[in-house]
Amino acid sequence: MNKLKISAVLVATLAVTGCSGFFVGKTNAPTPTPISENTNKNLVRTSWSVSGLGNSDETSLRFNVAHSGNTLYVANANGSVSSVDATSGKKGWATKVDELYTGTATNGNLVFVGTKTGELVALSSANGSKVWSTKLYGAPTTTPVIAGSRVIIRTMGGAVETFDAQTGEKSWAYMVQVPEVSLRGGAAPVVVGQNLLVPTDLGLIGYLNAETGAVIWGQKVSNPRGGTEMARLADIDAEPVIDNNVAYVPVARTGVAAVSLQNARKLWETKSGVYSGLTVDASRLYVAYDNGNIGALSKRDGKVEWESNALFARHLTRPVLINERIVVGDNEGYVHVLDKNSGQLLGSTKVGKSGFMPDVLTLAGSAVFQDHSGNVYRISI
């Protein structure tokens, strides 16, 4: 069993903007597959949309939407943080902090965001007023996560820091080795009961006690080879999914690895990179590959059950399951629906005013998408 290497590292990290389709500006990326005139364009219904929540046009970072009860909390790169009624889409409070590198997390009473200047900020969920803020070991790379009475965040300098959610008092912190070159952003830690699964930019995952920070085990899930630093990128940028005591870890360049949480044993791995993320049901993983294809993998052994190129190069969001169908957005503002058993494209509907952020929130048989122009949409099928 491998021990996760945890140490203070004083090495500058070159953060490469984006990955896959979430670059901003001109690229030499392949031409996206066009939407066929014969595609069903009415399968997706927009329950509501809300605009004027800020702007994230010039970012390739991940800005996920948090929710508690009937309220959504939305952040944008320009520092805007807002509350939205999840049923009606009506805007609630709005506030402004420093430019942001993360989306929102909430414990119901407070809303947490991480700023470009390296601060963790806690806002009142009732009115958006600042409750506390604290300095971090560098700019955050991930959205904060809530673990019981603590809030946890990763930074570009390799720190995993934990704070008392109500007061901002520091609890424990680890400095994890970082590579010289990595993709900007990263996957947030995942709370698993009393423990914490921590992805890193070196293709490592660490399993820690969330209360004390003690390391339970570490495992290498990616070991790319190549003649350049870019070829050897091992970033884990999408959140691992936990199911039946197995962690399914999407690695940006090299694919998905299945790891037992019980003993750190790697059960299987695939070879096609995943940036935006994956979702699971009882028997399969549904994966958005970095080339825009969608695939279904067996949870048992990782074998490909089907792969669709119908959305090739459309730079997809994390796929989610709604009413037993796969729903995924793209960087032109379309929402697509696919049959989960065959991968057949069932419909494509123009929803967003611009391309969508990589992360998607599922909510009571619907999905919430955020686009780069600061608009949020709740859709159903």
Summarised one tens digit per residue, pLDDT across range 305-319 is 999 999 999 999 999
Average pLDDT score over residue span 5-34: 51
Range with the poorest average pLDDT among 34-48, 172-186, 203-217, 333-347: 172-186
pLDDT value of position 330: 97
Report which DSSP code applies to 50: E
Identify whether the C-beta of residue 151 lies closer than 8 Å to the C-beta of residue 132.
Answer: no
Q: List all residues 6 or more positions away from 115 whose beta carbon is below 8 Å from its beta carbon.
A: 79, 97, 98, 99, 100, 101, 121, 139, 140
Residue scoring higher pLDDT (299 or 186)? 299
At 269, phi and psi to the nearest 5?
Answer: -150, 155
Rounded Cα–Cα distance for residues 306 and 380 (Å): 25
Q: Which is it for the CA torsion 57, 135, 202, 248, positive or negative?
A: negative
In this prediction, residue 223 has a pLDDT band, given cuts at 50, 70 and 90, of low
At 116, phi and psi to the nearest 5?
Answer: -60, -30
Rounded Cα–Cα distance for residues 316 and 338 (Å): 13
Residue scoring higher pLDDT (178 or 230)? 178
Is it the case that residue 199 has pLDDT exceeding 70? Answer: yes
Residue scoring higher pLDDT (184 or 334)? 334
Strand partners, 110: 124
Identify whether the C-beta of residue 86 lies closer than 8 Å to the C-beta of residue 67.
Answer: yes
Q: For residue 163, give the nearest of 128, 205, 132 by alpha carbon.
A: 132
Distances (CA, A) of 232 to 16, 58, 164, 226: 13, 26, 37, 6
Residue scoring higher pLDDT (76 or 17)? 76
In this prediction, residue 256 has a pLDDT band, given cuts at 50, 70 and 90, of very high
Rounded Cα–Cα distance for residues 57 and 25 (Å): 10
pLDDT value of position 316: 96
Is it the case that residue 277 has pLDDT exceeding 50? Answer: yes
In this prediction, residue 164 has a pLDDT band, given cuts at 50, 70 and 90, of very high
Strands 45-50 and 190-192: unpaired
pLDDT value of position 5: 37
Identify the burial level of 90 via C-beta atoms within 10 angstroms of its C-beta, where 0-12 means exposed, 13-18 middle and 19 or more buried: exposed
Rounded Cα–Cα distance for residues 210 and 176 (Å): 16
Average pLDDT score over residue span 179-191: 69
pLDDT > 90 in the chain, percent: 75
Is it the case that residue 121 has pLDDT exceeding 70? Answer: yes
Average pLDDT score over residue span 48-75: 91
The two three-digit tokens of residue 347, written as one number: 């419909």
pLDDT value of position 156: 85
Looking at this protein, which amino acid is placed at residue 251?
V
Looking at this protein, which amino acid is placed at residue 60?
S
Average pLDDT score over residue span 87-116: 97
Helix H or strand E segment including 148: none
Identify the burial level of 106 via C-beta atoms within 10 angstroms of its C-beta, where 0-12 means exposed, 13-18 middle and 19 or more buried: buried
Rounded Cα–Cα distance for residues 198 and 220 (Å): 12
Identify whether the C-beta of residue 29 lies closer than 8 Å to the C-beta of residue 194.
Answer: no
Identify whether the C-beta of residue 320 lies closer than 8 Å to the C-beta of residue 338.
Answer: no
Is it the case that residue 143 has pLDDT exceeding 60? Answer: yes
In this prediction, residue 370 has a pLDDT band, given cuts at 50, 70 and 90, of very high
Average pLDDT score over residue span 69-79: 96
